[in-house]
Structure 1
C-alpha cells in the first residue's frame, strides 16, 4: 500500500481556515494551518485528489528535503544532497521556482540559478549529460523556499497555479481570480441550498465557482494538465479511479443561479466561460444594469459580487457605491449580499452597516469582503415578529 507523505497546499491570505476544512472533508491527515498555507498528509492518490478537488488551493507541493542555508556554498551543498536521479533523467527538463524570506539571500533569481547549477553539476558528474531548463513546459517543477536559514525543497505537483481552472478563455477588464472567487463564496456560507445571484458578473467567474460548489463538481475538472502527470511515478489508472470517485459525488441543483452585467461584451464572455465549464444548464446570464433590477425569486437570496473599485475601471465612486446601497435597500429584501472591494473609502457611501467585514487581498490590493443583511420589511419588524412568536 502506498505510504502517506507530507504535502503543503498554498493559498491566499484569509483562506487558511476554509482550505483546512476542505482538506479534512476530502480525508486529509495531520492538517495544520500556517500563513497562506496548510500542511497535511496523504498518499499519491490523495495528492491527485487534492489537485482535482480543492477550491481554495493555489498549489500542492510535495516537500522532499530540508536543510540550513546561510550563504551560496551551503545552498549549493544542500541542493546537491538530494539524489535528483530519483525525480529526473538527464534527457528531461526542469525549472526552479523560489520564494524568499531571508536576510541571507536577496534575489530569488540568484537562488534559482545556484540551485540549477547544483542539479546539473550532479548529473554531469554522474552521467556526463545534464537535463535542460524549460520555463514553460518542464517535466519537473522544483520549489525552493527559504525562510531565514531554513531551506525547504519541494516538488510542485500542480504546475500552473490551480486558479487556472481551464474553463476561462475570455476575461473582462478587471477579472477576479478563480481561487479568490471560490474562497469568497465559501466564506459567505454559500452551499447551494437556495437561489444565487451575481449582479455584476463580468466574465462569470463567481457564477462558475458558485455552480461548481452547488453541484459538488471538482474545481479543476476542466484543467488540461497537472505537473504530476510528467513525474516518473505517474499512475494514469489511479488518476482515473480518483476522478471517477469524485464524479460520483456530483449532485443535482434545484435552485437558480443568475448573473447580470450591463456590458454586452461581458455578458458574451461570461456565457462563453459558463459553456466551457459545462455549467450552462445551471446558470442564466442576461444583460441588465443591477441598479434597474429587483429581486425576482421567493425566499432567501444569496448574492456575491465584485463591483469595480476604480483601479482599472473609471467610475464615479461615491455615486456608484451609494447606488449599490440604495438598490439593495429598496429592491432586494430577504437577501444576504456580499461583495469585495479594495476601495475602503467607498464603503462609507453604501449607507448600510455591514454585519461582517473580512480582510482579504485581491492580487496585491488589500480588500474587504463585506456582508449586508437585507431583511424582509425592516430589521426592527423582523425582530418584533420573532418576539411575538416566542
Structure 2
C-alpha cells in the first residue's frame, strides 16, 4: 500500500479557501490553509491527481527535509546530509528557487547558491560527476523555504508553474493568468449552471477555463509534462490510471459559452487556443464590439471579463467604464456580471452599485473583482 505524505500547494493571494475546497473535493486529507498556500496529505497517486486537476494551484511541493539554520555554513552542512542520489543522478539537470522570511538570511540568490554548492559537492564526491544547472528547462526542481531559522527543503512535483496549462500558444495584449482566471471564475460561483459570456475575451482564457470547469475537465490535462515524471520513483502506469479515471468524470455541458472581442487579431488567437484545448464544440467566439451588443438568451447569463485599464492600454477611462455600465444595465437583464480591474477609480464611472468587491492581484497590480446583479426591470424587494 502506498504511503501518505504531506504536500504543499502554492496559490495566489485570496485563493486559499478556493484551493482548500478543491483539495477536499478531490479527496485530500488533513487540509490546512496558510498564506498563499494550502497543506494536505495524500499518496503518490494523489500527488499526480492534484497536479492534473487543481485549477488554483501554482505548484505542488513535496517536503523532504526540515532543519534549523542561522548562517550559510549551517545551511550548507544540513543540505549535504540529504542523500541526493535517492532523488536524481549527476546527469540530471536541476534548478532551485527560494522563499525567505528571515533575519538570518536576506538574499534569496545567495541562499540558492549555497544550496546548489552543497548538492553539487555531494554528488561530485559520490559519483565523480558534476550535475548541471538549467534554469530554463530543468529535469528536477528543488524549493528551499526559510522562515526565521526553520528551513524546509521540498521537491517541486509540478516543474513549471501550473498556470502553464499547455493550451495557450497565442496571447493578446495583457492576457490574464490561467490560475487567476480559474480562481476568479470559481469565486464568481461559476459551475456551468447557465449560459456564459466573456464580452472582451482577448485570447480566450476565461472562456477556456469556464468550459473546463463546466465539463469537469482536469485543468492541466493538456500539459506536456510534470516535474514528477523525471523522479526516480515515477510510476507511468499509475499516472495513466489516474489520468484515465479523471477523464471518465468529464461531463456534458448543455448551455452556451460565448466570447466577443472587437479586435480581429484577438478572435484569431482565441480560436487557436480553444482548438488547442479541444473545446471547439463548447465555445463560440465572434468579432463584436460589446457596446453594440445585446443579450441573446432568455435565461440567466453569467458574465465574467477582464476589461482594459490604463495601466495596460491607453483608453478614456471615464467613457469606457461608463459604457460598460450602460451596456450591462440596458442590454443584459437577468444577468450576473463580474469583472476585474486594477483601476479602482474607474469603478466610479460604471454607474451601477456592485453587490460584491473582492480584493485580488493581477500580477503585481492590486485589483478588485466586482459583481453586478442585473435585473429584469426594476429590482424586486422583499
Q: TM-score range by the shorter chain?
A: over 0.9
CA distance in 1: counterparts of 2:349 and 2:149, whole angstroms? 47
Question: What is the Cα deviation at residue 309 of structure 1?
Answer: 1.2
1:135 corresponding residue in structure 2: 135
Q: CA RMSD in A?
A: 0.9
Question: What is the Cα deviation at residue 133 of structure 1?
Answer: 1.3
CA distance in 2: counterparts of 1:125 and 1:223, whole angstroms? 36
Question: What is the Cα deviation at residue 231 of structure 1?
Answer: 0.5
Question: What is the Cα deviation at residue 236 of structure 1?
Answer: 0.6
CA distance in 2: counterparts of 1:313 and 1:181, whole angstroms? 19
Question: What is the Cα deviation at residue 126 of structure 1?
Answer: 2.2
Question: What is the Cα deviation at residue 137 of structure 1?
Answer: 2.4
The answer to whether structure 1 residue 172 and structure 2 residue 165 are counterparts is no
Question: What is the Cα deviation at residue 131 of structure 1?
Answer: 1.6
How big is each residue's C-alpha offset from its partner over 1:95-153, in whole Å with a ceiling of 9 and x where there is no partner? Answer: 11111111222221111110011111112222222222122222210001111211110
The answer to whether structure 1 residue 37 and structure 2 residue 37 are counterparts is yes
1:300 corresponding residue in structure 2: 300
Deviates more, 1:66-75 or 1:275-284: 66-75
The answer to whether structure 1 residue 99 and structure 2 residue 70 are counterparts is no
Deviates more, 1:121-130 or 1:23-32: 121-130
CA distance in 1: counterparts of 2:2 and 2:340, whole angstroms? 42
**Secondary structure at the counterpart of residue 132 of structure 1:** coil
How big is each residue's C-alpha offset from its partner over 1:283-323, in whole Å with a ceiling of 9 and x where there is no partner? Answer: 01000011111111111100000000111211001110111
CA distance in 2: counterparts of 1:117 and 1:196, whole angstroms? 52
2:162 corresponding residue in structure 1: 162
How big is each residue's C-alpha offset from its partner over 1:226-269, in whole Å with a ceiling of 9 and x where there is no partner? Answer: 01111101111000000000000000000000000000100110
2:59 corresponding residue in structure 1: 59
Gaps spanning 5+ residues in structure 2: where?
none
1:350 corresponding residue in structure 2: 350
Deviates more, 1:100-109 or 1:332-341: 100-109
2:12 corresponding residue in structure 1: 12
Gaps spanning 5+ residues in structure 1: where?
none
**Secondary structure at the counterpart of residue 112 of structure 1:** helix
2:183 corresponding residue in structure 1: 183
CA distance in 2: counterparts of 1:58 and 1:297, whole angstroms? 36
Q: How does 1:312-331 map to 2 (within 5 A)?
A: 312-331=312-331
CA distance in 2: counterparts of 1:135 and 1:364, whole angstroms? 23
1:210 corresponding residue in structure 2: 210
The answer to whether structure 1 residue 365 and structure 2 residue 365 are counterparts is yes
CA distance in 2: counterparts of 1:300 and 1:254, whole angstroms? 13
CA distance in 2: counterparts of 1:160 and 1:136, whole angstroms? 10
TM-score by length of 2: 0.99
CA distance in 2: counterparts of 1:365 and 1:160, whole angstroms? 23
CA distance in 1: counterparts of 2:17 and 2:207, whole angstroms? 23
CA distance in 2: counterparts of 1:138 and 1:268, whole angstroms? 33
How big is each residue's C-alpha offset from its partner over 1:179-231, in whole Å with a ceiling of 9 and x where there is no partner? Answer: 00000000000000100000000000000000000000000011111011111
CA distance in 2: counterparts of 1:198 and 1:359, whole angstroms? 21
**Secondary structure at the counterpart of residue 133 of structure 1:** coil
